Amino acid sequence: MLRRKVMPVKEVSDRHRALLSEMARVMYDAKGIGLAAPQVGISESMIVVDTGTGLYKLVNVKVTKKEGRQCMEEGCLSVPGVGVKVKRAKKVMVEALDETGKAVCFPAEDLLACVFQHECDHLEGKLIVDYASLIGKIKIKKTVTRFLKKAHDGTAFPPKGKFGAL
């Protein structure tokens, strides 16, 4: 699921609003700052983001303009315990539908811009591990293998909710 490109939402419905609310709950429970629908098994273009300045619930999100450069170490709820330095645009323009189906367009910069780009990557089937060097990918594989062993043993568990484990 995480490697597939999602389908656009044709019309924002009550079902989509409920899914966005549940995604936000899962994101907050996991102490995350962004979550994309594929991370919870939904192949539709929806994300939730909150970097501390308020919750965004967005549908059919696109980054339409990019400016500048920044490099941040990013984590991901789908790859627990892994951090990857990723080069992204410092400023972006975001176009989407809000949870009522209204078209919105707004700028984002710094951390917020980074998170929007990260979540949009998920909608395209791309993960932070794709940005890692060959050596980084080997280290990531070891970290993920350790996490999966702990998960199998029952000593580690991602947050659960309506969607099950992340």
Domain membership of residue 119 (yes or no) is yes
Cβ–Cβ < 8 Å for 62, 84: no
Domain membership of residue 158 (yes or no) is no
Residue 159: the pLDDT is: 45
Q: Which domain holds residue 134?
A: 14-153
CATH of the domain at 66: 3.90.45.10
Domain membership of residue 2 (yes or no) is no
Mean pLDDT over each residue of the chain, to the nearest integer: 88
Domain membership of residue 160 (yes or no) is no
Domain membership of residue 53 (yes or no) is yes
| 9-44 per-position pLDDT tens digit | 999 999 999 999 999 999 999 999 999 999 999 999
Total count of domains within the chain: 1
pTM here is 0.83
Domain membership of residue 8 (yes or no) is no
**Active-site residues: which are they?**
119
